[in-house]
Amino acid sequence: MSDQTITTFSALGLAEPLLKAINESGYTTPTPIQAQAIPIALQGTDLMAGAQTGTGKTAAFSLPILHTLLPFSSSSTSPAKHPIRALVLAPTRELAIQVHDNIKTYAKHTHLRSLVVYGGVDIKTQTPSLKTGVEILVATPGRLLDHVEQKTLSLSQVQFLVLDEADRMLDMGFMPDLKRILALLPTQRQNLMFSATFSNDIKKLADAFLNQPTLIEVARSNATNDNVEQKAYLVNSADKARFLVQLLKQQASKQVIIFTKTKMAASQLAKTLERAEISCSAIHGDKTQKERIEALDAFKAGTIDALVATDVAARGLDISDLPLVINYEISTSPEDYVHRIGRTGRAGAKGVAISLIDEEETKYFDDIEKLIKKQIPRVQAQIERTSSTRATKEESAVRKSIGRQHGAKSSQDAWFNQPYQPNPVVAKDTPANITTHANKRQVVAALLGGLNGFQPTILTSQKRTRTRESNQTKSKEAQQPSESS
Ligand code: AMP
């Protein structure tokens, strides 16, 4: 049956408890990746799927796995009755948590158990749940190996391996960990690999890990989602913060993710948005994992309107109906653009992605256009020089920081020499430790990537593996030094 003819989940042959959960989730029609991947996965064939983020790929692999594992569903409390049968590897904890949330939702009318484990939290807190037994384990590679080393889990009965966002796993340097994990799995198993982009490295990974996979793509490789309207403005690095504020004020939509390349720029930009215009907040990489999750939850709940995020921090975020993404700084890696703008226009919704390009960044944007095989008209930004868009001390700091990165000359505008006028409105903490001001128009949290935000900072010799994911992140940051500062 071709995917064109599959317009319902029941036509995919999925079991009743899964159909019930899908129905309760409000899904009426399988997305194209689901229509293509589910029948293949149900046949037991290996799969390599090129699916853009937000296409419904999590359900595309979770549903056939749950369906196939249903005969093993048991209400027994004996851990022996709940061995790990499906292992889902994800590059970041945020994605792992999100994937696990989806699996829990789809499995809620079954006795199949699932769990997520990731680094950056005390490994001991994860052990009791593992000991009770779970059929589906979602994990980041480093933490999985920590558990293997501590003998808190066994992978000897794994029937399914999923590599989610495989391209990002390679970017983050997880290849050695993946090889170690592969060596621990039974050779008889089904492998499902998902990647937003199809580089040669991904093809090599597929050759090494998959057994005669069926290749499916829901859109041209490295394409961007047609539901996303892409706009680009040419703007001086010195004027970016001011122009951003202007744009945010003009937007009818409230929720926005703003991407910067560096942790420092994200932090300073959040302050700029707070001081220059509107009340706002920032969450630093130094803050705890709990605070980061709270910020994300607050954003999802609409308490926070904007997230200022680095690529690492924002990876894997699934926020339904996010209408707007702004690339405040253009990434030097064109693939990041695909991932960034994939935060919007998900599951058929419409979205807008706006890029602010300074002179230094035009070459990076040329590379992006080559990758996505699409020209995005570049419009000269018109900056309003009104009091409401005046920059602040922090805006100057962002300008300086970005100027340093791009070697930009400082602006000659006399306005910049005016003394700093502090915002008189007093801050108050929200439950997410988010500073909120009166006269609020937009609340901004900077969701920062980098070491502190992702991993424990204490290194001990006997806890070498606990720092593995930290080191992976570090190595990524080494390739992109701006990420960590
Ligand atoms: P994913 O690509 O797996 O991150 O999914 C993106 C979003 O689409 C998630 O919020 C899912 O809950 C949602 N979604 C997945 N499948 C469907 C579907 N068939 N219909 C509507 N929404 C879906």
Per-residue pLDDT tens over the stretch 103-126: 999 999 999 999 999 998 999 999
Same domain, 89 and 29: yes
Q: In residues, how long is the chain?
A: 485
Q: Specify the pairing of strand 306-309 against strand 228-234.
A: unpaired
CA-nearest residue, atom 15 of ligand 1: 56
395 and 242 Cβ atoms separated by less than 8 Å: yes
Distance, CA of 114 to CA of 137 (rounded, Å): 6
Q: Which residues line ligand 1 (CB under 6 A)?
A: 27, 29-31, 34, 53-59, 318, 320, 346-347
Verify that 141 and 162 share a domain, yes or no: yes
Verify that 191 and 302 share a domain, yes or no.
Answer: no
Cα of 82 vs centre of ligand 1, distance in Å, is 28
Between 199 and 412, the more confident residue is 199
Query: With pLDDT > 70 as the criterion, what percentage of the chain qualifies?
Result: 69
Could you report the per-residue pLDDT of 188-219, keeping only the tens digit for each? 999 999 988 777 888 888 888 899 999 887 75
**325: pLDDT strictly greater than 60:** yes
Is residue 16 located within the same domain as residue 120? yes
Please report the pLDDT score of residue 119 as a whole number.
92
Higher pLDDT, 397 or 168: 168
Distance (angstroms) between ligand 1 centre and the Cα of 139 equals 20
Domain span holding position 398: 228-385+392-405
Q: Beta 136-139 vs 160-163: how paired, if at all?
A: unpaired
Mutate to test the pocket of ligand 1, among 55, 97, 228 (most ligand atoms within 8 A of CB): 55
463 has a pLDDT exceeding 70: no
Residue from 7, 102, 321 whose mutation best tests the ligand 1 pocket (most atoms within 8 A of CB): 102
Residue 408 per-residue DSSP state? P
Mutation to probe ligand 1, out of 25, 61, 322, 341 (largest number of atoms < 8 A from CB): 25
Residue 418 lies in a domain: no
Residues 6+ apart with CB under 8 A from 129: 115
CATH label of the domain that carries residue 271: 3.40.50.300
> CA–CA separation, 132 vs 129, rounded Å?
5
Q: Tell me whether strands 190-195 and 114-117 are parallel, antiparallel or unpaired.
A: unpaired
pLDDT band at 457 (very low <50, low <70, confident <90, very high): very low
Atom of ligand 1 nearest to the CA of 31: 19
Lowest mean pLDDT among 174-178, 198-202, 471-475: 471-475
Our mutation pick for probing the ligand 1 site, out of 62, 320, 322, 343, counting the most ligand atoms within 8 A of Cβ, is 320
pLDDT in tens, 253-291: 678 888 988 878 888 888 888 776 655 555 545 556 676
Instruction: Please report whether residue 125 resides in a domain.
Output: yes
Q: Which atom of ligand 1 is nearest to the CA of 320?
A: 10
Percent of the chain with pLDDT over 90: 40
Both ends of the chain: CA-CA distance in Å?
52
For position 286, what pLDDT does the model report? 57
**Residue 454 included in any domain:** no
Residue nearest atom 13 in ligand 1 by C-alpha distance:
56
The reported pLDDT for the residue numbered 316 is: 53
482 within domain boundaries: no
Q: Quick one: 360 exposed, middle or buried, by C-beta within 10 A (0-12, 13-18, 19+)? A: middle
For residue 86, what are the β-bridge partners?
136, 160
Q: Examine the pLDDT at 135 and tell me if it is beyond 90.
A: yes
Count structural domains, the chain. Answer: 2
**Residue 166 and residue 209 in one domain:** yes
- The reply to whether 60 and 192 lie within a common domain is yes
In a shared domain, residues 239 and 106: no
Overall average pLDDT of the 137-159 stretch: 96
Residue whose Cα lies nearest atom 20 of ligand 1: it is: 27
- Protein residue with least CA distance to atom 16, ligand 1: 56
Residue in 117, 116, 115, 109 with CA at minimum distance from that of residue 75: 109
Confidence (pLDDT) at 346: 63
User: Do 156 and 241 fall into the same domain?
Assistant: no
- Report how far ligand 1's centroid is from the alpha carbon of 30 (Å): 9
The residues near 331 (Cβ < 8 Å, ≥ 6 apart) are 259, 261, 311, 337, 340, 364
Nearest residue by C-alpha to atom 11 in ligand 1: 56
Task: Tell which wins on pLDDT, 303 or 15.
Answer: 15
pLDDT value of residue 118: 94
Closest ligand 1 atom, residue 29 Cα: 19
pLDDT, averaged across the chain: 76
Which amino acid belongs to residue 412? Q
Residues 261, 286: one domain?
yes
Which ligand 1 atom sits closest to the C-alpha of 347? Answer: 8
Q: Which of 53, 318, 321 to mutate to test the pocket of ligand 1 (most atoms within 8 A of CB)?
A: 318
Residue 250 domain-assigned (yes or no): yes
- Residue 355 sits at φ, ψ, to 5 deg, of -115, 135
Domain boundary among 347, 375, 405: 405
* 300 in any annotated domain: yes
Domain boundary among 152, 183, 217: 217
Residues 177 and 278 in one domain: no
> Cα(459) to centroid of ligand 1, in Å?
38
The helix, strand and coil proportions of the chain, stated in percent and rounded to the nearest 5, come to 45, 15, 40
Q: Check: CB of residue 434 under 8 Å from CB of residue 304.
A: yes
CA distance 411 to 255: 31
Residues contacting 11, CB < 8 A, separation 6+: 1, 5
Q: Give yes or no for a contact between 352 and 231, defined as CB atoms under 8 angstroms apart.
A: yes
Q: How far does residue 346's CA lie from ligand 1's centre (Å)?
A: 7
Helix, coil or strand: residue 87: strand
Domain contains 64: yes
For residue 23, which phi and psi values (nearest 5 degrees)?
-60, -45
Our measurement of the distance from residue 27's CA atom to the centroid of its chain's CA atoms, rounded to an integer in Å, reads 22
- Decide if 190 is inside a domain: yes
Q: What is the pLDDT of residue 484?
A: 34
Q: Whose CA is nearest to atom 1 of ligand 1?
A: 56
Mark which of 217, 250, 280 sits at the end of a domain: 217
Residues 251, 304 share a domain: yes
Same domain, 204 and 313: no
Residue nearest to atom 21 of ligand 1 (CA): 27
- Name the CA dihedral angle for 99, 95, 57, 444, rounded to a multiple of 10 degrees: 110
